[in-house]
Amino acid sequence: MRRWWWLGTVVAVLALATSAAAQSNTLVLYGSPDRDWVAAVAAKFEKDTGLKVQWIRASSNEMYARIEAEKVNPKGDVWFGGTGDPHFAAAEAGLTEPYCPGNFAELREWMRDPIGNCRTIGLYAGPLGWAVNEGVLKKAGKPMPQTWDDLTKPEYKGMIAISNPTTAGTAYTALVTLLLLKGEDKGWDYLAKLHKNIAQYTKSGSAAGQLAGRGEVAIGIVFLHDSVMFAEEGFPVKPIAPADGTGYEIGGLSLIKGAPNKENAKKFIDWALTPGTQLIAKDFRSFQLQSNKNTPLPDVVKKHGMDFESVKTIKYDFLWASKNRERIIKRWSEQVFSQAR
């Protein structure tokens, strides 16, 4: 009887050891940038480290919802990219945990630790703006918008697209930008007026720029690096930065709390912040300013005049945005989106 008990113990120990070995060779990557960019990052990490990567791509707010739903039994190890606000909200909610990468000192100071204590690391940054189809405007006899206030004028009714903040981080950045720019009371009034001019709310952040590029709307509210991307792809859009100031994103890079493969996740975070890895972005026409000081800004961004030095930005309060995320999205859904257009 003791012999069988001993054999059973050996089998159990071997099974656990085998499971641990399999686990040590795996990384589950949750990615929120462009699908091809996430795929390329996963493939290069596999090649550079020998670790096996399983990856899933979803927009920032969708990925937040997934991580929140899995919090009792986490499936993912690391969350790569996507608008920072959902990352910061996840940190506030205890869905992710702090990790200071080994190459922390190489990162731009204003981007490296947006909400403190290494709860999320800045991966890249990009200002918010518009993709404007000048041809559509000219055909309709409408002027080029210059400020956020211009977008609420009746002449632009049905000519604007923006993503939905319940699914896309781009739109949430826009909500916070306008509430900070105008103050909450006037900001909510502004959002109600803007809503009346919206032709379509898209699921993903960049899709509004595609609609402008196809001529289905005249103006897409997107990040300026997405507008540059569409212009470079041959769409007839012009990147425009609002003259009265605009907010910006800091793309997040977060260690998921309770990650099944935590050490591999830490390796990935260190690796993802190196210039060699960050340069992958431009191969997929993702033209953000990367967080590592040694990663150059693509020349195409400078060509369009959409680098940070050329754009008037507001003081964007990332911590306030993360703490008030649920309240802001709820109020927008109930008091703005529900209204007739």
Q: Give the integer Cα–Cα distance in Å for 263 and 159.
A: 49
Q: What is the pLDDT of residue 304?
A: 87
* Domains of the chain in sequence order: 2-124+250-297 (3.40.190.10), 126-248+313-337 (3.40.190.10)
DSSP-based three-state secondary structure for 313 = strand
Residue 117 gets the label, from left (phi > 0), alpha (psi -120 to 50) or beta, of: left
Phi, psi of 161, rounded to the nearest 5 degrees: -130, 145
Query: Read out DSSP for 34-86?
Result: -HHHHHHHHHHHHHHH--EEEEEE--HHHHHHHHHHTTTS---SEEE-S-HHH
pLDDT in tens, 190-227: 999 999 999 999 998 899 999 999 999 999 999 999 99
Question: Of the candidates 330, 11, 316, 337, which has an alpha carbon nearest to the alpha carbon of residue 180?
Answer: 316
- Tell me the whole-structure pTM to 2 decimals: 0.83
Residue-wise pLDDT for 133-157, tens only, equals 999 999 999 999 999 999 999 999 9
Centre a 10 Å sphere on the Cβ of residue 7 and count the other Cβ atoms it contains: 10
Please say whether the beta carbons of 82 and 125 come within 8 A. no
* Single-letter amino acid, residue 209: G
**Measured distance CA(91)–CA(237) in Å, rounded:** 36
From 76, 50, 51, select the one nearest 65 (Cα to Cα).
76
Q: Are 184 and 223 in contact (CB under 8 A)?
A: no
DSSP state of 98: -
Rounded CA separation 225/339 (Å)? 31
Among residues 227, 199, 249, 252, the alpha carbon closest in space to that of 303 is found at: 227
* Residues with Cβ within 8 Å of residue 202, at least 6 apart in sequence: 161, 162, 163, 164, 168, 208, 211
Q: Locate all alpha helices (DSSP H) within 205-259, ordered by sequence.
A: 207-213, 224-232
Note the pLDDT of residue 301: 85
* Amino acid residing at 51: L
Look up residue 242 and give its DSSP letter: -
Give the per-residue pLDDT at 330: 97
Contacts of 169 (CB under 8 A, 6+ apart): 32, 59, 60, 61, 82, 83, 84, 85, 86, 205, 249
Mean pLDDT by 10 residues, the chain (341 residues): 37 37 80 94 98 95 96 98 92 97 96 94 96 98 98 98 93 97 97 98 94 98 95 96 96 97 98 97 91 92 85 94 93 96 91
Q: How much is the pLDDT for 184?
A: 95
CB atoms within 10 A of CB 321: 26
Quick one: pLDDT at residue 255?
98
Q: Tell the burial category of 185 from Cβ atoms under 10 Å away from its Cβ (0-12, 13-18, 19+).
A: exposed
Identify the CA nearest to 118 among candidates 91, 94, 93.
91
Tokens of 120: 């999320």
**115 contacts 322 by C-beta, under 8 angstroms:** yes
**Distance between CA atoms of residues 318 and 86, nearest Å:** 10
